[in-house]
């Protein structure tokens, strides 16, 4: 039959490396995202430790200025694009179909494609280290420092192309989740019955599809500037304006902050009810506040630019919108606290991390309001106070929230429980290490330590606090080691989890741990927000169907990884082209053709292999 | 418990804040923003303290409430959770309450922003500052010879008690001009003209400044000093600057150095002499400066010789960047370098 | 698809905004006076006609008239190709007169913007031909006309983007509305501190 469009036979085996590389199962893709994000978390963490050792003493010469600059550039880029975003994606992938009662996402192969683009883009950018060219432009890469004139090596090329590749994958994932959530909910799963995590995913997906285009354009301009000598940011005398980059970057960059933090808010909103044994306080307000935050998030970008001389009008307007965003954020925090009221609270590890999230994120939010005040910002901008602030939001917020989610859903993902005692040690070490690391940074900012400096003079009075900070960083590292031990121990000899170890209320806990690849043997009908707690809501599922009646699921496909690979290699060809025109053009042309061929293969390939389908029917 | 927290939290917070402020303003850092030395940073600090207190009170109150809630409502056998779904009145209340708290800090903020748009005093001193990778250039329009520019570098000299308005430029990438004790930061952006907030220094002294926007490899070593002088001293300095140096006594190291400086005059200028290069920093009255190499080393003979000999051993200059060449590679011998150093440090106002 | 188009609006919005903000900032080389309005009007008309053809193709398919559907699909793709031809001719003319992306800001913003649009058209043409051939082996039929409807949605969108570019860049660039748009552009630029 013509159905087999591939050059190679379609891989159908359920195990082995090949199965993972061609999988379109949202749960496996989630695991891939999660494991990759954790790998980059370790990498980004080591980059942070290098910086902390360097800064532990004044006038330190442990690493060179260029190395240090590469460390903070890649630490920032890695943690934002290769850790927190894919960790969020891991949760979206695993949970959204389970929570809304679907068997997969709307476009399973596009989903795989997003992951491979992310992985290849991330590897591509980090590949620059092997080429002895370290991106050292800061994670927001201000023009014109990124131009050929000021960064001579092609490290910046790896950075800009890597981000472009990852951005395409992320945008595709955004579409995928919007469609999945809007179109694939089980009967009775109205929008206002969705778990808050699904709501936050929907908002994040919309943020992604509206915030990434400005970034893509900015990166495209920069790519053209660097490879084809255009004049977007470089030709200052001829009218180019470096501020254009800053506007484009932050129009993306501020919504990006909410892309990073909203998944954690969703996780916490679902963890709290389980461990207080009561419904979330003010569900609709929490959802509505998330929507308002997303809208306002597009109107605050210039608060990153108060010191660029926008003038009093712009500063006043953006100061006001930035303060306004504190209102919906505050509403969420108050509603979470009110959820605790009247509860029957048990302090399992997921709950501890959720409480850690609420308290640390709130502190980060408050310091954020401080630099919404332009006067104060003129003293805080680009100091360690800012570094402290966004780590309270992104580490105390996002990472604590993600940890809460890991402890909460690990049993569902693997079928094994994580150790509670080890989890508690992990939490307390991380909380203490986190505050030792980032609380003194506020004071360092106040006493005038700028960020991104690889050294400081002894008479500045920065040394003592920096030593505390560095010590704290190593405590965080220790807590991560304990987490690794916990995971390894659990995978080997963890207690079996059972379907619903936390006696939670949402749909994913109604099926086996780990779930079958088809998730739900029979798609459930939903009648309330907390179906498993609500006696009237009959979602108790019939037993799994006999094997020959299993639902037909999409089969694996190798086209997504091939398309992602060829796109990344076209970017690689561009870099080769700078040195060897013909070799570069050859790579670009051959990879372009391969990509086109693969797209056709993908489009014409049926979702289920016919050989496979015929077994079942 | 609840009563206690309600009453004591603000009081405790204020006490803690007072302690923190005392510690901070006593901190010996020369870039301490809580130790303002001008009207500009003073007015910022007032708002700074206000928002810090508001943020701390809210922060401690919410943390205390959370601790109270998790202790009070920890799981107890036989006590089931109350199935509360929400409370519209409460939720509206805590949507509106933050708006009032925000007004407390928002109104002074707007007031301050309006203040930055006000005109400075008529006797304002206009200065232009230009950022270069990795040093600062300062120009005083109209204060040089014959109404021309007076140009200096890396040490901004200003009179005490007079409004200073600095216009900011950049020659290459984005830099940021910041003197924490005198004035908040504003960026120096190529192709744009920014104006720093007008400030008026309280007392003479030497203040630390530093580039605050990442500007490439040696960003950490792009510093400067602001030398606030009395009006009389400031005039003396400017006059001496324009008068140029007296010819050094023949036969001294300085005299030999003044001839050897021909090697440097393509890039560096010394007002009143033949050296008029404008690529590198202006070196007029070099002997008056407290630091060399853009505020990173004390201006001592040994440091200066090391700097002239090999800047790359002191500042991490990437390959290919436009910066001062290395001279101890045979271009100049140790004696010649010592002579030039002696000449530079002989350039004083006396 | 609507989500994709929403995202693409931002994409082109950013490009057009950049072009407007940088308008009048080029210090050397040819700028807007190089634009050839009559020729571009013809190509704009061609693209508009292709949208009409697209509507007819879909309507044919929905009524099950495969011949009609095939004819109009091919017509849409061909008209799109004519548009691309015009654009390549225009770019070549500009290069002759010394305007490339490197020449000045106008060259960078104009050529990159219209180039991205041309790429969208080219992708659309590939898509249309794929659908055209798929009608022969039965993969596209009356029952799944949604496939063609989605392609049509994309095609109309790309068409509308062109109308905006033509209006904002060509007409405004060459004719009198100049000052007003310049004022509006500069007011917007002043608010955000650009330009």
Kindly list the averaged pLDDT for each block of 10 residues, start to end, along chain C of length 195.
70 73 63 74 87 89 86 91 89 80 77 86 88 82 81 86 81 56 57 52
Q: Which residues of C touch A230 (CB under 8 A)?
A: 101-102, 107-108, 112
Q: Which residues contact A543 (CB under 8 A, 6 or more apart)?
A: A521
Encoding tokens for residue B40? Answer: 């500009």
Q: Which residues contact A481 (CB under 8 A, 6 or more apart)?
A: none
Distance CA C79, CA C81 (A): 5
Q: What is the pLDDT of residues B93-132, one digit of tens each?
A: 988 988 998 998 999 888 888 888 888 889 999 999 999 9
Q: What is the mean pLDDT of residues A30-41?
A: 96
Q: What is the pLDDT of residues A348-380, one digit of tens each?
A: 999 999 999 999 999 999 999 998 999 999 999
Could you write out the DSSP letters of every residue in B273-330? SS-B--SS---TTGGG-SEETTTTEE--HHHHHHHHH-GGGTS-PPTT---PPP-TTT
Residue C104 lies inside a defined structural domain of this protein: yes
In whole angstroms, how far apart are CA C193 and each of A221, A247, B187?
A: 20, 10, 13
C113 at A interface, C-beta within 8 A = no
Of C27, C112, C193, the CB nearest to A311: C193
Structural domain tally of chain A? Answer: 2
Distance CA A451, CA C1 (A): 43
Identify whether residues A50 and A92 lie together within a single domain. yes
Structural domain tally of chain B? Answer: 3
Q: What is the pLDDT of residue C31?
A: 66
Kindly report the nearest CA distance between residue C149 and chain A, in angstroms. 17
C43 at A interface, C-beta within 8 A = no
Say yes or no to pLDDT of A46 above 90: yes
Query: B190, A375: Cβ pair inside 8 Å?
Result: no
Q: What is the pLDDT of residues A395-409, one digit of tens each?
A: 999 999 999 999 999
A142 at B interface, C-beta within 8 A = yes
Kindly report the nearest CA distance between residue A244 and chain C, in angstroms. 7
Encoding tokens for residue C115? Answer: 């180039």
Identify whether residues B237 and B129 lie together within a single domain. yes
- Domain containing A305 — which CATH number? 1.20.210.10
Say yes or no to pLDDT of A615 above 60: no
Identify whether residues B228 and B292 lie together within a single domain. no
Identify whether residues B60 and B146 lie together within a single domain. no
Of A178, A210, A237, the CB nearest to C10: A210
Residue A240 lies inside a defined structural domain of this protein: yes
Q: Which residue has the higher pLDDT, B99 or B350?
A: B99
Query: A381, B109: Cβ pair inside 8 Å?
Result: no
Q: Which secondary structure element, helix H or strand E, spans residue C49, and what is its range?
A: helix C37-62
Query: Which of A149, A245, A376 best probes binding to B when mutated, by most B CB atoms within 10 angstroms?
Result: A376
Strand order through the sheet with B194-195: B150-153, B135-140, B125-132, B164-170, B194-195
Query: A231, C15: Cβ pair inside 8 Å?
Result: no
End-to-end CA, chain C: 35
Distance CA B140, CA A57 (A): 38
Q: What is the pLDDT of residues B223-256, one digit of tens each?
A: 999 999 999 999 999 999 998 888 888 889 999 9
Residue C144 lies inside a defined structural domain of this protein: yes
Residues of the domain holding B52: 34-115
Q: What is the pLDDT of residue A434?
A: 96
Identify whether residues A93 and A159 lie together within a single domain. yes
Residue A560 lies inside a defined structural domain of this protein: no
Of A240, A337, A455, the CB nearest to B66: A337
The 3-state DSSP class for residue A537 equals: coil
Encoding tokens for residue A502? Answer: 């936390």
Distance CA C148, CA C135 (A): 10
Of C3, C10, C13, the CB nearest to A179: C3
Kindly report the nearest CA distance between residue A464 and chain C, in angstroms. 40
Q: What is the mean pLDDT of residues A183-189?
A: 89
Structural domain tally of chain C? Answer: 1
The predicted complex's ipTM stands at 0.91
Task: Output DSSP code: residue A304.
Answer: G
Q: Which residues of C touch A311 (CB under 8 A)?
A: 190, 193
Query: C11, A308: Cβ pair inside 8 Å?
Result: no
Distance CA B168, CA B185 (A): 11
Q: What is the pLDDT of residue A335?
A: 94
Identify whether residues B279 and B259 lie together within a single domain. yes
- Domain containing C94 — which CATH number? 1.20.120.80
Kindly report the nearest CA distance between residue B157 and chain A, in angstroms. 21
A58 at B interface, C-beta within 8 A = no
The 3-state DSSP class for residue B195 equals: strand
Q: What is the pLDDT of residues A586-603, one digit of tens each?
A: 999 999 999 988 888 887
Q: What is the pLDDT of residue C24?
A: 62
Identify whether residues A352 and A219 lie together within a single domain. yes
CA dihedral for B322, B327, B329, B332, sign (positive or negative)? positive
Secondary structure E strands in A337-408: none
Residue A559 lies inside a defined structural domain of this protein: no
Identify whether residues A15 and A162 lie together within a single domain. no
Q: What is the pLDDT of residue C149?
A: 85
Residue B139 lies inside a defined structural domain of this protein: yes
Residue C21 lies inside a defined structural domain of this protein: no
- Domain containing B273 — which CATH number? 2.60.40.420
Residue C25 lies inside a defined structural domain of this protein: no
Query: B51, A66: Cβ pair inside 8 Å?
Result: no
Asked if A200 contacts A163 with a C-beta cutoff of 8 angstroms, the reply is no
Identify whether residues B229 and B259 lie together within a single domain. no
Query: C14, A213: Cβ pair inside 8 Å?
Result: yes
Q: What is the pLDDT of residues A338-349, one digit of tens each?
A: 999 999 999 999
Main-chain phi, psi angles of A528, to 5 degrees? -160, 175
Closest CA to B277 of B223, B324, B218, B312: B324
Say yes or no to pLDDT of A292 above 70: yes
Give the global pTM.
0.89
Average pLDDT, chain A: 89
CA dihedral for A62, A67, A72, A77, sign (positive or negative)? negative
Q: Which residues of A touch C27 (CB under 8 A)?
A: 237-239
State the pLDDT confidence band at B12, using cuts at 50, 70 and 90: low
Identify whether residues A141 and A279 lie together within a single domain. yes
Residues of the domain holding A570: 1-20+565-617
Q: What is the pLDDT of residue B10?
A: 60
Encoding tokens for residue A63? Answer: 């690493």
Identify whether residues A482 and A607 lie together within a single domain. no
Query: B113, A460: Cβ pair inside 8 Å?
Result: no
Identify whether residues B279 and B333 lie together within a single domain. yes
Query: Which of B212, B291, B295 best probes binding to A when mutated, by most A CB atoms within 10 angstroms?
Result: B212
Instruction: Give partners of B (≥3 CB pairs < 8 A).
Output: A
Of A231, A248, A314, the CB nearest to C193: A314
Query: B84, A281: Cβ pair inside 8 Å?
Result: yes
Identify whether residues B235 and B136 lie together within a single domain. yes
Q: What is the pLDDT of residue A613?
A: 47
Q: What is the pLDDT of residues A202-234, one digit of tens each?
A: 999 999 988 998 898 899 889 988 888 888 887
Kindly report the nearest CA distance between residue C76 and chain A, in angstroms. 21
Residues of the domain holding C87: 30-192
> Can you name the residues that pair with B130 across neighbouring β-strands?
B137, B169
Find, in chain B, the residue whose alpha carbon is nearest to that of A308. B187
Q: Which residues of B touch A454 (CB under 8 A)?
A: 220
Q: What is the pLDDT of residue C23?
A: 65
Of B47, B56, B173, the CB nearest to A373: B47
Q: Which residues of A touch C4 (CB under 8 A)?
A: 175, 209
Of C21, C102, C137, the CB nearest to A244: C21
Distance CA A406, CA A411 (A): 9
Reduced to 3 DSSP states, what percent helix, strand and coil does chain A have, rounded to the nearest 5?
70, 0, 30
Q: What is the pLDDT of residue B4?
A: 46
A551 at C interface, C-beta within 8 A = no
Percent of chain B with pLDDT over 90: 59
In whole angstroms, how far apart are CA A183 and each of A97, A483, A509, C28?
A: 11, 37, 22, 53
DSSP count for chain C of H helices, then E strands: 7, 0
Q: What is the pLDDT of residues A78-98, one digit of tens each?
A: 999 999 999 999 999 999 999
Measured from the Cβ of residue B195, the count of other Cβ atoms closer than 10 Å reads 14
Asked if B151 contacts B144 with a C-beta cutoff of 8 angstroms, the reply is yes
Identify whether residues B220 and B277 lie together within a single domain. no
User: Beta strands B183-188 and B175-179: pairing type?
Assistant: antiparallel
Distance CA C120, CA C126 (A): 10
Residue B272 lies inside a defined structural domain of this protein: yes
CB pairs under 8 A between A and C: 106
C143 at A interface, C-beta within 8 A = no
In whole angstroms, how far apart are CA A245 and each of A487, B25, B303?
A: 42, 38, 40
Identify whether residues A332 and A231 lie together within a single domain. yes
Q: Which residues of A touch C22 (CB under 8 A)?
A: 239-241, 244
Closest CA to A118 of A167, A45, A55, A48: A167
Identify whether residues A395 and A511 lie together within a single domain. yes
DSSP count for chain A of H helices, then E strands: 20, 0
DSSP count for chain B of H helices, then E strands: 7, 12
Quote the radius of gyration of chain A (alpha carbons, Å).
24
Of C3, C26, C112, the CB nearest to A230: C112
Residue C8 lies inside a defined structural domain of this protein: no
Kindly report the nearest CA distance between residue A308 and chain B, in angstroms. 5
**Domain-terminating residue out of B218, B243, B268:** B243
Q: What is the pLDDT of residue A16?
A: 77
A146 at B interface, C-beta within 8 A = no
Residue C109 lies inside a defined structural domain of this protein: yes
Half-sphere exposure in the Cβ direction for B64 (13 Å, CA): 18
Q: Which residues contact A362 (CB under 8 A, 6 or more apart)?
A: A333, B59, B62, B63
What burial class does residue B328 get, using C-beta atoms within 10 Å of its C-beta: 0-12 exposed, 13-18 middle, 19+ buried? middle
C109 at A interface, C-beta within 8 A = yes
Measured from the Cβ of residue B190, the count of other Cβ atoms closer than 10 Å reads 22
Q: Which residues of B touch A331 (CB under 8 A)?
A: 91, 94-95, 98
Average pLDDT, chain B: 89
Q: What is the pLDDT of residue A200?
A: 95
Q: What is the pLDDT of residue C103?
A: 73
Identify whether residues A443 and A586 lie together within a single domain. no
**Domain-terminating residue out of B66, B87, B115:** B115
**Domain-terminating residue out of A505, A525, A554:** A554
Closest CA to A346 of C154, B163, B80, C16: B80
Identify whether residues B150 and B110 lie together within a single domain. no
Query: A236, B191: Cβ pair inside 8 Å?
Result: yes
Q: What is the pLDDT of residues A11-22, one digit of tens each?
A: 666 777 888 888
Kindly report the nearest CA distance between residue C187 and chain A, in angstroms. 12
State the pLDDT confidence band at B5, using cuts at 50, 70 and 90: very low
Kindly report the nearest CA distance between residue B231 and chain A, in angstroms. 28
Identify whether residues A294 and A238 lie together within a single domain. yes
Q: What is the pLDDT of residues A314-329, one digit of tens each?
A: 889 999 999 999 999 9
Q: What is the pLDDT of residue B84?
A: 85
Instruction: Give partners of A (≥3 CB pairs < 8 A).
Output: B, C
Q: Which secondary structure element, helix H or strand E, spans residue A110, and what is its range?
A: helix A108-127
CA dihedral for A349, A355, A358, A360, sign (positive or negative)? negative
Question: Of the segments A37-51, A231-245, A491-505, which one has the largest average pLDDT value?
Answer: A37-51
Encoding tokens for residue B232? Answer: 């009389």
In whole angstroms, how far apart are CA B125 and each of B150, B166, B234?
A: 13, 8, 12
Q: What is the mean pLDDT of residues A450-468?
A: 92
Q: Which residues of A touch B109 (CB under 8 A)?
A: 316, 319, 372-375
Identify whether residues A55 and A86 lie together within a single domain. yes
- Domain containing B54 — which CATH number? 1.10.287
Encoding tokens for residue C169? Answer: 């860049």
End-to-end CA, chain B: 71
Identify whether residues A505 and A604 lie together within a single domain. no
Place of tokens 């571009």: C40
Identify whether residues B158 and B102 lie together within a single domain. no
Q: What is the pLDDT of residues A227-282, one digit of tens each?
A: 888 888 877 767 778 888 999 999 999 999 999 999 999 999 999 999 999 999 99
Q: What is the pLDDT of residues A524-565, one digit of tens each?
A: 888 888 888 875 545 555 444 455 566 777 888 888 999 999
């Amino acid at each position: 039959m013509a159905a087999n469009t591939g050059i190679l036979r379609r891989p159908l085996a359920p195990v082995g490396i090949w199965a993972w590389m061609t999988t379109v199962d949202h749960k496996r893709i989630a695991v891939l995202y999660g494991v990759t994000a954790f790998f980059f978390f370790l990498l980004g963490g080591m980059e942070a430790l290098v910086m902390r050792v360097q800064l532990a003493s004044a006038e330190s010469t442990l690493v060179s200025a260029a190395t240090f600059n590469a460390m903070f550039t890649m630490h920032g880029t890695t943690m934002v694009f290769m850790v927190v975003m894919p960790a969020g994606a891991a949760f979206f992938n695993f949970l959204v179909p389970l929570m809304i009662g679907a068997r997969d996402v709307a476009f399973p192969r596009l989903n795989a494609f997003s992951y491979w683009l992310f992985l290849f883009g991330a590897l591509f950018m980090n590949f620059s280290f092997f080429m002895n060219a370290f991106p050292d432009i800061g994670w927001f890469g201000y023009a014109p420092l990124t131009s050929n004139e000021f960064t001579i090596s092609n490290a910046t090329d790896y950075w800009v192309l890597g981000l472009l590749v990852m951005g395409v994958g992320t945008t595709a994932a955004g579409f995928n989740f919007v469609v999945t959530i809007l179109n694939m909910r089980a009967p009775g799963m109205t929008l206002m019955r969705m778990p808050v995590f699904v709501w936050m995913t929907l908002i994040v997906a919309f943020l992604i599809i509206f915030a990434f285009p400005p970034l893509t354009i900015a990166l495209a301009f920069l790519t053209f500037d660097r490879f084809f000598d255009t004049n977007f940011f470089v030709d200052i005398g001829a009218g180019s304006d470096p501020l254009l980059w800053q506007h484009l970057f932050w129009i993306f960059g501020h919504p990006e902050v909410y892309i990073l933090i909203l998944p954690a808010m969703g996780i916490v909103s679902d963890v709290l009810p389980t461990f207080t044994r009561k419904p979330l306080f003010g569900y609709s307000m929490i959802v509505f506040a998330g929507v308002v935050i997303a809208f306002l998030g597009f109107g605050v970008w210039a608060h990153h630019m108060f010191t660029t001389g926008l003038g009093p009008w712009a500063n006043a307007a953006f100061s006001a919108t930035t303060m306004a965003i504190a209102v919906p954020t505050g509403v969420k925090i108050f509603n979470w606290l009110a959820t605790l009221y009247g509860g029957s609270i048990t302090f399992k590890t997921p709950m501890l991390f959720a409480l850690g999230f609420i308290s640390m994120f709130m502190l980060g939010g408050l310091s954020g309001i401080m630099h919404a005040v332009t006067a104060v910002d003129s003293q805080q901008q680009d100091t360690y106070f800012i570094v402290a602030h966004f780590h309270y939001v992104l580490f105390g917020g996002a990472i604590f929230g993600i940890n809460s989610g890991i402890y909460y859903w690990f049993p569902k993902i693997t079928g094994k429980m994580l150790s509670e005692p080890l989890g508690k040690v992990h939490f307390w070490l991380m909380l203490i290490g986190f505050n030792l690391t980032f609380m003194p940074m506020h004071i360092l900012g106040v006493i005038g330590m700028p960020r991104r400096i690889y050294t400081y003079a002894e008479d500045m009075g920065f040394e003592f606090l920096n030593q505390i900070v560095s010590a704290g960083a190593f405590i965080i590292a220790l807590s991560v080691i304990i987490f690794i031990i916990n995971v390894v121990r659990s995978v080997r000899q963890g207690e079996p989890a059972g379907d619903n170890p936390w006696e939670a209320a949402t749909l994913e806990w109604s099926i086996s741990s780990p779930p079958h690849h088809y998730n739900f043997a029979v798609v459930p009908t939903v009648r309330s927000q907390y179906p498993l707690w609500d006696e009237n809501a009959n979602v108790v599922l019939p037993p799994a169907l006999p094997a020959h009646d299993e639902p037909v699921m999409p089969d694996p496909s190798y086209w997504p990884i091939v398309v992602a690979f060829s796109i990344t290699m076209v970017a690689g060809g561009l870099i080769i082209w700078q040195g060897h025109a013909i070799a570069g053009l050859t790579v670009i042309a051959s990879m372009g053709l391969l990509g086109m061929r693969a797209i056709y293969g993908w489009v014409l390939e049926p979702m289920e292999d016919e050989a496979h389908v015929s077994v079942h029917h | 418990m609840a009563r206690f927290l309600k009453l004591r939290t603000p009081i405790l917070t204020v006490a803690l804040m007072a302690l923190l402020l005392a510690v901070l303003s006593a901190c010996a850092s020369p870039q301490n923003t809580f130790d303002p030395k001008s009207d500009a940073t003073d007015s910022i600090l007032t708002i700074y303290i206000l928002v810090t207190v508001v943020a701390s009170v809210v922060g401690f109150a919410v943390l205390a409430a959370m601790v109270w809630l998790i202790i009070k409502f920890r799981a107890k056998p036989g006590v089931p959770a109350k199935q509360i779904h929400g409370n519209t009145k409460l939720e509206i209340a805590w949507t509106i309450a933050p708006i009032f708290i925000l007004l407390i800090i928002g109104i002074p903020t707007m007031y301050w922003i309006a203040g930055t748009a006000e005109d400075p005093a008529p006797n304002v001193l206009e200065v232009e500052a230009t950022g270069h990778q990795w040093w600062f250039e300062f120009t005083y329009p109209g204060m040089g010879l014959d109404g021309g520019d007076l140009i200096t570098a890396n040490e901004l000299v200003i009179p005490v008690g007079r409004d200073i308005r600095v216009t900011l430029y950049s020659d290459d990438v984005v830099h940021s001009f910041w003197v924490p004790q005198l004035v908040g930061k504003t960026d120096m952006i190529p192709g744009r003209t920014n104006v720093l907030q007008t400030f008026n220094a309280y007392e003479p002294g030497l203040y630390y400044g530093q580039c605050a926007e990442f500007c490439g490899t040696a960003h950490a070593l792009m510093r400067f000093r602001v030398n606030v002088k009395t009006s009389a001293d400031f005039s003396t300095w400017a006059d001496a600057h324009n008068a140029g140096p007296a010819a050094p006594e023949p036969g001294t190291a300085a005299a030999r150095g003044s001839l050897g400086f021909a090697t440097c005059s393509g890039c560096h200028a010394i007002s009143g002499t033949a050296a008029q290069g404008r690529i590198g920093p202006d070196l007029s009255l070099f002997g008056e400066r407290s630091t060399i190499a853009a505020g990173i080393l004390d201006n001592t003979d040994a440091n200066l010789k090391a700097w002239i000999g090999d800047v790359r051993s002191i500042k991490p200059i990437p390959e290919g960047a436009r910066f001062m060449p290395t001279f101890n590679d045979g271009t100049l011998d140790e004696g010649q370098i010592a002579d030039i150093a002696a000449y530079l440090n002989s350039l004083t106002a006396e | 698809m609507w989500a994709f188009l929403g995202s693409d609006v931002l994409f082109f919005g950013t490009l057009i905004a950049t072009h407007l903000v940088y308008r009048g900032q080029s210090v050397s080389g040819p700028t807007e006076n190089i634009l050839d309005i009559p020729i571009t009007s013809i190509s704009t008309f061609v693209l508009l006609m292709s949208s009409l053809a697209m509507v007819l193709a879909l309507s044919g398919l929905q009524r099950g008239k495969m011949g009609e559907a095939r004819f109009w699909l091919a017509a849409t793709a061909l008209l799109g190709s004519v548009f691309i031809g015009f654009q390549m001719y225009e770019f070549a003319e500009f290069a002759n007169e010394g305007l490339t992306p490197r020449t000045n800001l106008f060259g960078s913003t104009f050529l990159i913007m219209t180039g991205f649009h041309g790429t969208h058209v080219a992708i659309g043409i590939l898509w249309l031909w794929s659908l055209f051939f798929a009608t022969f082996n039965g993969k596209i039929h009356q029952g799944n006309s949604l496939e063609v409807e989605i392609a049509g949605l994309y095609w109309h969108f790309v068409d509308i983007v062109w109308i905006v570019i033509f209006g904002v860049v060509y007409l405004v660039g060459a004719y009198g509305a100049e000052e007003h748009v310049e004022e509006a552009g500069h007011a917007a630029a002043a608010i955000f501190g650009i330009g």
